[in-house]
Amino acid sequence: MSVVLAPAAVQDIAELRQLYFEVYGHGYPVPLGSDPAVMRRLITDGTAHWLTARTPRGDLVGSAVVQTDPGSRIGKLVGLAVHPGHRGGGLASRLTGAVCAEAFATGRLDSVYATVRVVTEGPQHVVVRNGFRPLGLMPNAVEVEGCESLALFARYADGVLDRRAPVERVPERLSALLSAASAGIGIDCSATGIVPDRAAARSASGADPIELIDAPAFVRRRFLERFPDAGDRFFPLHTPNALLVAADGGFEAYADLDPVAGSCALVAVHPRPAAVAGALEALMTTVTRAGADYAETLLPLADTEALEVFLASGFVPSAVYPAMRRIDDRFHDYVVLSRTSRQIDFRTTAVSPLLQPYLGAYLSAWTATYLPLHEVSR
């Protein structure tokens, strides 16, 4: 059956909420599909490209959105939904291609990323057919129908990957991830040297507790006070709503905490990311008690000091985002580090061949973190 694609309008909100309910039930953890105020803002404030699909009779059967972060020149593909009665005809792929083409046509985006569920291979094929490349795998990243893993993909504007800034060296635990990216994305990482992993001790479980301030408006104001320069606030499409403070005042960690999705993004640390050294175990205990079994952070691939601090505290390299950030005429690589307090179970994960190298890289890094060979051999 033919469908007509058109921009979403405010009067579509009720039907869109019904569509997301029919596709995901009560388990959809994104306000875009359930919160009318959020949906209205995205439709009207110019920060999103939102397309709907209707049958000739006017029935709403599909939706796709690219949210944008103008300051970072990055977008995110979200809210892709096709009514169960209209699957199998390529509508998901058509919506994805159309909404991404519209977003890139503005000339204001360098890349668009997507976090894709891996309960089946179908969503992975949809984004790949539309020019997305695999960047990594994030186990236990979200609570949808139980605890699920996500795959990270990105699509780039022409010429972006050709203008990557070189990275001199990275910690050894990232080597398998970079190898997977070289094959899966087609980038050259051969000039990047490897720094042997330091034998750093994990944070002591008896460290002073971390105070959690759950006051979103206050946190946002203080975040802007601590990071007045927009260039120091790089975590696209994440706004902190919680503050994790060291008892001695040594650092302030700003987090996007989402108990519904069971996840936490560590958006920024003041005065610098490495300031959390020795306290990440206590910080993770606080995050877990607040309802997030999964935590992630985004760091420059070139920031060896910060990477080593998080790697020494149980964070595992999960994905690499080449050419993520534009500074002047060069693009800089970033890496996603994650940690989960739940047991990881890949038995129900449908990992496509394109993602297999990333699964291998994650397992290699996880083993090096939690199952050191010298301990196994004792």
Give me the CATH number covering residue 267: 3.40.630.30
* Count: domains in the chain: 2
pTM of whole model > 0.85? Answer: yes
Asked if residues 334 and 301 have their Cβ atoms less than 8 Å apart, the reply is yes
Instruction: From 162, 184, 211, give the residue that closes a domain.
Output: 162
The answer to whether residue 367 sits within a structural domain is: no
Band of pLDDT at residue 1, cut at 50, 70 and 90 = low
Please tell me whether residue 79 adopts helix, strand or coil conformation.
Answer: strand
Q: Is the same domain home to 108 and 50?
A: yes
Asked if residues 58 and 95 have their Cβ atoms less than 8 Å apart, the reply is no
Can you tell me the mean pLDDT for 116-141? Answer: 94
Asked if residues 39 and 87 have their Cβ atoms less than 8 Å apart, the reply is no
| Dihedral sign from CA coordinates of 125, 127, 133, 136 | negative
* Residue 206 pLDDT > 60: no
The answer to whether residue 217 sits within a structural domain is: yes
Q: Is the same domain home to 183 and 107?
A: no
* Residue 374 pLDDT > 70: no
Can you tell me the mean pLDDT for 85-106? Answer: 95
Q: Is the same domain home to 187 and 209?
A: yes
Q: Is the same domain home to 185 and 137?
A: no
Q: What are phi and psi of 238, to 5 degrees?
A: -130, 130
Looking at per-residue pLDDT, the higher value among 286 and 204 belongs to 286
Picking from 279, 282, 325, the residue whose alpha carbon sits closest to that of residue 303 is 325
The answer to whether residue 62 sits within a structural domain is: yes
Enumerate the H helices of the chain as residue ranges: 13-24, 36-44, 91-104, 122-129, 175-185, 216-226, 280-289, 304-311, 356-370, 373-376
Please tell me whether residue 257 adopts helix, strand or coil conformation.
Answer: strand
Question: Could you give the dihedral angle defined by the CA atoms of residues 31, 49, 160 and 122, in that order, rounded to the nearest 10 degrees?
Answer: 60
Instruction: From 114, 145, 162, give the residue that closes a domain.
Output: 162
Rounded alpha-carbon distances, angstroms, from residue 225 to 33, 253, 270: 32, 14, 11
Query: Cα separation of 352 and 172, whole Å?
Result: 26
Instruction: From 96, 127, 162, give the residue that closes a domain.
Output: 162
Query: Cα separation of 268 and 111, whole Å?
Result: 22
Can you tell me the mean pLDDT for 66-77? Answer: 93
pLDDT tens, position by position, 297-308: 999 999 999 999
Q: Is the same domain home to 130 and 27?
A: yes
Can you tell me the mean pLDDT for 13-23? Answer: 94
Q: What is the mean pLDDT of the chain?
A: 92
The answer to whether residue 362 sits within a structural domain is: no
Q: What is the CA radius of gyration of the chain?
A: 21
Q: Is the same domain home to 180 and 129?
A: no
The type of residue at 185 is I
Q: Is the same domain home to 151 and 127?
A: yes
How many helices (H) and strands (E) in the chain? 10, 16
Can you tell me the mean pLDDT for 194-202? Answer: 69
pLDDT at 355 (0 to 100) = 94
The answer to whether residue 360 sits within a structural domain is: no
Asked if residues 334 and 164 have their Cβ atoms less than 8 Å apart, the reply is no
Q: Is the same domain home to 137 and 194?
A: no
Query: Cα separation of 149 and 139, whole Å?
Result: 4
Q: Is the same domain home to 209 and 148?
A: no
pLDDT at 144 (0 to 100) = 77
Q: In the 8-state DSSP scheme, what is residue 172?
A: G
The parent domain of residue 251 ranges over 169-352
Asked if residues 254 and 268 have their Cβ atoms less than 8 Å apart, the reply is yes
The type of residue at 345 is D
Per residue, the 3-state secondary structure of 351-363, as one string, reads: CCCCCHHHHHHHH
The answer to whether residue 248 sits within a structural domain is: yes
Q: Is the same domain home to 149 and 187?
A: no
Of 118-122, 165-169, 186-190, 348-352, where does the model show the most confidence?
A: 165-169
pLDDT at 244 (0 to 100) = 97
Rounded alpha-carbon distances, angstroms, from residue 172 to 35, 313, 319, 339: 43, 15, 15, 18
Of 18-32, 206-220, 293-307, where does the model show the most confidence?
A: 293-307
Question: How far is the first Cα of the chain from the last one, in angstroms, to the nearest whole number?
Answer: 64
Asked if residues 129 and 354 have their Cβ atoms less than 8 Å apart, the reply is no
pLDDT at 201 (0 to 100) = 45
The answer to whether residue 33 sits within a structural domain is: yes
Q: In the 8-state DSSP scheme, what is residue 119?
A: S
Q: Is the same domain home to 131 and 182?
A: no
Q: Is the same domain home to 178 and 101?
A: no
The answer to whether residue 64 sits within a structural domain is: yes
